[in-house]
Amino acid sequence: MDEKEQKKLKNYAVWLLSRQEYSRKLLGQKLRQKGASDEYAESLIEWLCDIGYLDDARHCESYLNRQLAKGLGEKRVMMDATNKGVARAQLMQLIEEREIDWFAVAQKTYEKKYGYSTKQLDYQERSKRVRYMMYRGFSYDQIDFAIQSQSES
């Protein structure tokens, strides 16, 4: 690989990191897709870590913020974490530190999707709503809390 290609990859990596946070794993995949050798990708990643452009802890926090903004529950956040190169242990520690109220997140997500309603839900409609919330990663207790809080309003 010549110097011109290396400079292109370096600029590409910095450009990617200027747009959003990446984990070491994800950035390595992106660089390899662009044709970087394993050795050069690793050395570039080390250089980016040394100058503070790449930080797995910052990526983990950014990932959690994005998932919470989407209205996803803890189960879904943890499931998707491995695909995004986020260390599960690091993510669990961050969740514990922040003391996230998953019941409040479930309530907000439910409210955003279904709004306020005073009418009683029939079995079919309730099942549909429960399935939607479970897909979003909430436990049944959290879903039940969200549905009950909306029907009481």
**Same fold flag, 3-54 and 102-152:** yes
Longest dimension (CA), the chain: 68
If you write DSSP's letter for every residue of 125-148 in order, what string do you get?
Answer: HHHHHHHHHHHTT--HHHHHHHHH
Task: Give the pLDDT band of residue 151 (cuts 50, 70, 90).
Answer: confident
CA distance 138 to 73: 5
Q: Which fold has domain 3-54?
A: Arc Repressor Mutant, subunit A (1.10.10)
Reported as a single tens digit per residue, the pLDDT across 30-77 is 999 998 888 999 999 999 999 999 998 899 999 999 999 999 999 999
What is the predicted pLDDT for the residue at 153? 54
Indicate if the pLDDT at residue 152 is higher than 70: no
* Residue ranges of E strands in the chain: none
Query: What DSSP element (H or E) covers 122?
Result: none
Q: Hey, where are the domains in the chain? A: 3-54, 57-98, 102-152
Helix axes 24-33, 38-50, angle to 10 degrees: 140
How many CB atoms lie under 10 A from the CB of residue 125? Answer: 13
Reported as a single tens digit per residue, the pLDDT across 70-128 is 999 999 999 999 888 888 999 999 999 999 999 999 999 999 998 877 778 889 999 99
Q: Which two tokens stand for residue 15?
A: 């450009």
Reported as a single tens digit per residue, the pLDDT across 1-11 is 788 888 999 99
Q: Which fold has domain 102-152?
A: Arc Repressor Mutant, subunit A (1.10.10)
pTM: 0.82
How many CB atoms lie under 10 A from the CB of residue 144? Answer: 15
